[in-house]
Homo-oligomer: A and B are copies of this chain.
């Protein structure tokens, strides 16, 4: 059993939340709790960040959810090949663009979570194609 606690919450006023961050222009705030705000110090406008969050309003995962219909194509896919909110561990991942940082509040664009969603972690966004570049500057020897 692994226990986590929210580091903050997503806040926005959109009723219509897109199915995925790749098709979202929704702007809103990531409100980070006071005890974690010091960790935001190197995040600035223009960056892309990875937000891990808790799908706190998903139904419980059942065996029947191992394969699910993709919302926009109707294909049936294994749960680990799609971004469904019904997952064994309901963790979501979105890449959003930072518009502004003010104290513990980050204004971002590209939200696909509901207002009030608990945030679990924020990470730098690293493209898989940075792989080759990193390898040449920091070789494993």
User: Which residue on B lies nearest to A119, using beta carbons?
Assistant: B89
Q: Mark A96-137, 1 if CB is under 8 A from B, else 0.
A: 000000000000001000000010111111111111001100
Which residues on B sit within 8 Å (CB–CB) of A52? 52, 89, 91, 93
Q: What copy number does this chain have within its complex? A: 2
A78 in contact with B41 (CB, 8 Å):
yes
Which residues on B sit within 8 Å (CB–CB) of A5? 1-2, 88-89
B66 in contact with A38 (CB, 8 Å):
yes
Known contacts A67-B41, A78-B38, A123-B93, A88 near B7 by CB under 8 Å: yes
B82 in contact with A50 (CB, 8 Å):
no
Known contacts A22-B135, A43-B81, A134-B20, A54 near B126 by CB under 8 Å: no
